[in-house]
Every structure is written in structure tokens, then in C-alpha cells.
Amino acid sequence: MISYGGSAALGLAYWGAAAHRNHPAAVGQAAAMIAAIMLISAVSQLGYGAVFQRQLPVAGERSASLILRAYLVSSLIAAALGTLYVASGLTHHFLPSSLRWSVVFIVSGMLWTIFALQDSALVGLRAAKWVPVENILYSLAKLAILPLSIWGHGSTGLFLTYMVPVPLAILAVNLFLFRIHLPARRRQNLPTEDLASGRQRWSMAVAQGVSTLLSNASSSLIALIVVARLGGAANSVYYVSFQIVLGPIMFFWSISRSLLVEALHEPGRMARHTRRGLATTVVVLLATWAVAIPLAPDFLLIFGHSYASAGTELLRLQLIALPGIAVVALYSSYAWIDQKLWRLTGRAILSLVVGVVSLELLVSHFGLLAVGYASLATATVEIVFFLPGTWRRVRRELRAPAS
């Protein structure tokens, strides 16, 4: 949570400075470029990030090989998907049409894939205290080199400042993982269980990969729809408002990840972990509403008056929709504990369809506010379908005797 909070605050500073230094259209195009990289990375990870959190706590001697295999497979898939993405022409809205920039785009997808996976490895290996160190240093680095964005041409300069610190973060984290943490972990008397069979692991990876693809496709498709229907300037307003909402969203998912990892390390204290996870989720939600909804225009003033006037209502609608994310995050923890991952795929399909269809139906009439109304529609469906089962599971864990 410290990692996400620090990264969110520094992310606001980064995009605030970028918004003051660049035309809104350039900010929107850079945001679309980054959204495309995130989509490619999310698909390429094949769900390995969540597999790490389920398998690494009990993988023992096989931890290193599991991580390296995931890095290799995912980065190769990222290279293939990045090549297809460029060849398809989907980048023509935001990427210069040159071989050099095509290569930069493809390599960036590969690097971001490993950058994302290594955080999940740290969490799964109970080294989560290093995640905020890595991510906050990365955020400080991209903020420090932001003035160098003048070397590019608007959006491309911003994109480079976003990506340049990534290789250094990858090198530092993996030196720590393979030279320090994993050797020390092998010397401890840690619980080990037989890993799932190859077929089961692939089933988990495919299920989580499809779920992640659909979830990230939803946010990426929103950005691409806004760019295509409303223009780059409108997308810059959507993107900066989403950066504010992303803070509490990441809090909810960090609670979910922590609940999963601690439940696997200490299954006899499941009631305690459930109680803490539920309480923390409620506190984060209420605190976010109490602070961010009334102060929405003030947060957007960080980026400039045009963002505050155009994005305040959109930001408030996205904040009101946060309970849907909170419910889904808790639901996902128990699905992973029970290894019933295809349920998450069904959830992701439902959310994607509701979100994208709602946006397409509403954008002509409501403009940018349609993004907020689509978020509310998605949250309503998620609460109706997934809150009852999640609450039953929470009550069952709280009533179970400790072992």
C-alpha cells in the first residue's frame, strides 16, 4: 500500500508537470501509447503475476526456475504481440511511423512485462517491503528526467521519460532476488508443498491471463475509444482523472494480494487475515470518498484549470464507482485461494462487456462524462453479481475456528 500510495502521489506530480509543459493533445497521445504498452504487457504476463503469489510461497527450491521461466515466456510473447500491434496499424494514432519507434515500442512492451512480474515475485516471496523502494525510486527517476522530454516531439518525449528508468529497475531488483533473497530463503525452514501439475499451472495461467487481458483491455479500450471519438485532448483529461482514481484502486488490489499471500503462509490464521483485509478495504474506501470527492477540483488543479473544469464531474463519478473494484478485489483473493480461476474470467468478461458497451452507447450524448457513467454501470453489475458470494465467504472464514 505504501508502494501504491507513493507511486500514485508521484504519478500525480509527474502528469501534473507534464500537463503544464505540453499541449493536452500530446499528453493524451503519450497516455494512449502507455496504455497500449500496458495492454501488451498484461496479455503477455499470462497470469504469471498471480501464479507467483499462489505458488511462490510454497515453491521452495523451484522458486528461481519458476520466475525465470515466466520472464522468458512472457517477454517473448510481448515481443510477438508488440510486433503484431505495430503491423496492424493500431499505433497510427499515437506512434511515429518509423522503424526506430516501432522497435522502441516493441522493446518497451518486453521490459514493462518483466518490470510488472518482478513486483509479484517480491510479494509472493514475502519481500514486499522492497516493492515501495523500487516503485518510488522509479517514479522519482521518471519525474527527475521529465525535463528531458523536450528532446522528443511532445508525446514521444513523454513516453521516453516514462520508460528509460525501467531497465535499471529490472537490473537492481533481479540482482537482489537471485543473489540475495532467494539464497537466504533456501537456508530457512520454510513450508513447501508440491506445485500444481503442469496442466494445472497452465490452466491457472491461461485463466488468469485471459482475465487480466480482459480487465486491461477494458481500460485500454476506453482510452482508445476516447481518443478516436473525442480526440487527444479529451483523452488527456480522462487519463489524469484515472491516475487519481488509480491510487485507491491499487490499494484494494494490494489488500487482495496481501490476503492471498498471508493466507498461504499462515492458513491457520485465515479469520484474522480476513478481518484485517475487510477492515482495511472499508477504511480505504471511506477515506477516499471523504477526501477525494469534495476535493476533486483541487486535485485536478494540479494539472491546470482546463483539467479541473473539464474533469471534475468525471473524477467524482469514477470515485463513486470504487465499491465495485473493492468487491472484485476481495472476490479474487478467495478465488485464487480455492484455485477456481475461471470464475475470474467470467467476471472479467461481464465487466468488459458492460463497460465498453455502456461507453459506446453514451459517448455521443454525454461526451467525456460517458466514461464515468460506464464506470458506474460496471460497478453496479459487479456488486449485484459478486458481493453476495464474497460476503458469504467472508462470514464463513470469520466463523471458522483457528487451527
pLDDT of residue 12: 75
**DSSP characters for 168-223?**
HHHHHHHHHIIIIIHHHHHTS-----PPPPHHHHHHHHHHHHHHHHHHHHHHHHHH
pLDDT of residue 25: 75
pLDDT of residue 7: 76
**Grid cell listed for 162:** 516514462
13-17 contacts, C-beta under 8 A, 24 or more apart: 13/143, 13/302, 14/139, 14/142, 14/143, 14/146, 15/239, 15/240, 15/243, 15/303, 16/240, 16/302, 16/303, 17/143, 17/146
pLDDT of residue 199: 65
pLDDT of residue 401: 64
What three-state secondary structure class fits 285? Answer: helix
CB 149 within 8 A of CB 21: yes
pLDDT of residue 95: 75
Q: CA dihedral defined by 207, 208, 214, 217, rounded to 10 degrees?
A: -140
Q: How far apart are CA 127 and CA 244, in angstroms?
A: 27
Q: How far apart are CA 305 and CA 292, in angstroms?
A: 17
CA 55 from centre of chain? 20
H or E, element range at 310: helix 305-320
The 10s digit of each residue's pLDDT in 51-92 is 787 777 777 777 888 899 999 999 999 999 999 988 888 777
pLDDT of residue 211: 75
pLDDT of residue 200: 65
Instruction: For the beta carbon of residue 267, count every other beta carbon within 10 angstroms.
Output: 12
The 10s digit of each residue's pLDDT in 189-203 is 655 555 555 566 666
CB 390 within 8 A of CB 330: yes
Q: How far apart are CA 61 and CA 3, in angstroms?
A: 28
The stretches in the chain having pLDDT less than 50 are none
pLDDT of residue 374: 95
pLDDT of residue 73: 92
